A = this chain, B = another copy of it.
Amino acid sequence: MIKEAIVDKLDIQYLTNSSNTFGIVDLGCSVGPNTFITVQNIIEAVDLKYKSQGLISPDFHVFFNDHTSNDFNTLFASLIQDPEKRRYFATGVPGSFHTRLFPKGTLHFVHSSYALHWLSRVPKEVVDINSPAYNKGRINCTNAPREVLEAYATQYAKDMEAFLHARAQEIVCGGLMVILVPAIPNATQPFPVSPRILFDLLGSCLLDMAKMGVVDEARIDSFNLPMYSTSTQELETLVERNGCFSVERMEIMSRPRLSNPQVYSDHIRAVTEGLIKQHFGSEILDELFDRYSKKLEDSLSIFKSGKATLLFVLLKRNTSIIDN
């Protein structure tokens, strides 16, 4: 789909600059190797496009971005060290993609996979005991009252606004942005499984442990995962509101779920362990994820019949509108 995007939607004439540099960023790159494979795919497709139009290949400047706490040492050690073989100039960019990270007009292709569903913070209302959005007994917004869902949605809208505003400055006119995020399914799709259900089950394991006296229930009430799964309609509205990008493609994809509960448990542990450790201490981790694996096994039928849904979005930076 990335290659298709480049073949069909990349208008090279808008992108040429005096130094013939093509800037690529992977936002939320983690430590590899997925980010290297993606970057390689992008470069091959762009290179082919330049060549097919009889143009000299640009110098590729590739920026790997993630939070400052990301292990950039590991990322850099995994890079192919010889720039000739690598075919691009590599740099690491620490910081939140909800803020500006690059000078104006530096980027030609932006990629972000499984990162934009992370919120910049937990909405403050959901941990405020006096708020109607106080999220008692849940760790996410699945099956939560309307107020909780709204608090999450409002935070997501704020974050996406900041994100799109920052990227609108950094991406050259005509530049492309590909976003991949877990999504809540459209009602028309058969057998969907919301990605939120996975976290819902994790929350219920914590509540079980509270009943056994292992975890303090009030600590669960104050724990919320800063994650939010959007829908096509919601994201489309946010892009329109920003006004600097056109939606070139937006597609819900689904794929069969894996049927191995241990794989899920390991995956969710990798994603949430840091946050859980910080809030509850590391002592509870092993028991929690043992319980989680068992609970997933009991719910196996849902997962086998359901499908994982993923949102693919291709945006193009407008050539006429400047957002300041």
Residues on A lying within 8 angstroms of B by beta carbon are 17-21, 58-61, 63, 68-69, 71-73, 76-77, 79, 81-83, 89-95, 99-106
Contact = CB atoms under 8 A, between A and B. Distances in A.
Contact of A91 (B17, B73, B93): B93
Contacts of A21: 103-106
Contacts of A83: 95, 99-101
B73 A106 contact: no
9 contacts: A17-B17, A18-B105, A19-B105, A21-B103, A58-B103, A73-B73, A83-B99, A83-B100, A90-B93
A92 B81 CA distance: 15
Contacts of A95: 81, 83, 90
A227 B59 CA distance: 32
A82 B94 CA distance: 11
Contacts of A72: 72-73, 76, 92
Which of A60, A76, A101 counts the most B-chain CB atoms under 10 A from its CB?
A: A76
A69 B77 CA distance: 7
A60 B92 contact: no
Copies of this chain in its oligomeric complex? 2
Contacts of A71: 73
Contacts of A102: 61, 89
A103 B68 CA distance: 25
Contacts of A59: 103-104
Contacts of A73: 71-73
A90 B79 contact: no
Contacts of A91: 63, 91-93
Nearest to A96: B81
Given A76-B72, A95-B83, A61 B18 contact: no
A299 B90 CA distance: 46
A92 B61 CA distance: 13
Contact of A77 (B68, B76, B81): B68
Contacts of A17: 17-19
Nearest to A74: B73
A17 B104 CA distance: 11
Nearest to A68: B76
Contacts of A99: 82-83
Given A76-B94, A89-B101, A89-B102, 5 more contacts: A18-B105, A61-B102, A83-B100, A83-B101, A92-B93
Contacts of A20: 103-104
Nearest to A63: B91
A14 B58 CA distance: 22
Contacts of A61: 102-103, 106
Contacts of A103: 19-21, 58-61, 89
